[in-house]
């Protein structure tokens, strides 16, 4: 298919240069990357990634979960819980699932 339409987009210069360096490492130029992006929008009938506002600060959520489990007490929570706490803090799992996973880890750990 012949490319016969132009898209003009204004972006910050520093962003453009950083992205060009990344794309160069991947072996493609900006035009190819934008073409891939537009093709994915067409294929998925929407943006090819999730767009959402974070529910709250990751550090706040990490501390919240650690305190709820009474693990802080002036010392960090056990490293084996890092993955669970990280998933919760990033909003990938909810509070109840995080508590369940940690309780299960206590039983099996």
The model's pLDDT over 64-94, given as tens digits with 9 standing for 90+, comes to 776 666 555 555 667 777 788 788 877 888 8
- pTM, rounded to two decimals: 0.49
d(CA 43, CA 46): 8
pLDDT band at 56 (very low <50, low <70, confident <90, very high): low
33 pLDDT band, cuts 50/70/90, is: very high
Among 63, 50, 47, 52, which Cα is nearest to 98's? 63
Q: Which is higher by pLDDT, 15 or 90? A: 15
Residue 68: what pLDDT?
A: 64
Average pLDDT, the chain: 82
H helices of 27-89, in order, are: 30-44, 58-68, 82-89
Spell out the residues 6+ positions from residue 70 whose beta carbon is closer than 8 angstroms to its own.
none
């Amino acid at each position: 298919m012949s490319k016969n339409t132009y898209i003009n987009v204004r972006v910050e210069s520093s962003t453009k240069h950083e992205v060009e360096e990344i794309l160069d490492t991947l072996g493609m130029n900006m035009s190819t990357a934008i073409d891939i992006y537009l093709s994915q929008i067409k294929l998925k009938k929407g943006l090819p990634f999730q767009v959402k506002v974070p529910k709250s600060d990751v550090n706040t959520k990490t501390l919240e979960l650690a305190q709820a489990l009474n693990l802080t007490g002036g010392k960090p929570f056990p490293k084996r819980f890092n993955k669970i706490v990280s998933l919760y803090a990033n909003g990938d799992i909810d509070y109840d699932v995080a508590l369940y996973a940690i309780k299960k880890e206590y039983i099996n750990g």
